[in-house]
């Protein structure tokens, strides 16, 4: 069971991180740096720390807040972000009359 949890978590995070702004920032920094290994270590450490904070916060939060409510709040948060992105995109694509 631990292996399947590890694999599903790895796949989910790996796919979610592909092409996001963190990866683009890492590419930009690495492209303008003379030491891409240092950029890799810095970005990998930052991702690990952010994931650690999320795992600890999620584990602690689930002791006080029902899992269904946490999922609902996450879904609403992502929905708000999505709607705002679509709204901004539509607003930029319309000609200035």
Residue 46: per-residue pLDDT: 92
**pLDDT tens track of the chain, all 97 residues?**
799 989 998 888 888 887 788 888 888 898 888 999 999 999 999 989 988 998 888 778 888 888 899 889 989 998 998 899 898 888 877 666 5
Between 21-31 and 36-61, two packed helices, what is the crossing angle to 10 degrees? 160
Distance CA(10)–CA(43), nearest Å, equals 17
- Domains of the chain, residue spans: 1-64, 66-97
pTM: 0.57
């Amino acid at each position: 069971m631990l292996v399947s949890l590890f694999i599903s978590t790895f796949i989910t995070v790996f796919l979610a991180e592909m092409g996001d702004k963190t990866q683009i920032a890492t590419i930009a920094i690495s492209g303008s740096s003379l030491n891409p290994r240092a950029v890799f270590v810095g970005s990998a450490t930052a991702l690990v720390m952010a994931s650690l904070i999320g795992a600890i916060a999620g584990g602690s939060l689930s002791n006080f807040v029902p899992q269904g409510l946490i999922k609902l709040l996450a879904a609403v948060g992502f929905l708000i972000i999505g709607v705002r992105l679509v709204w901004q995109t539509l607003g930029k694509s319309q000609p200035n009359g």
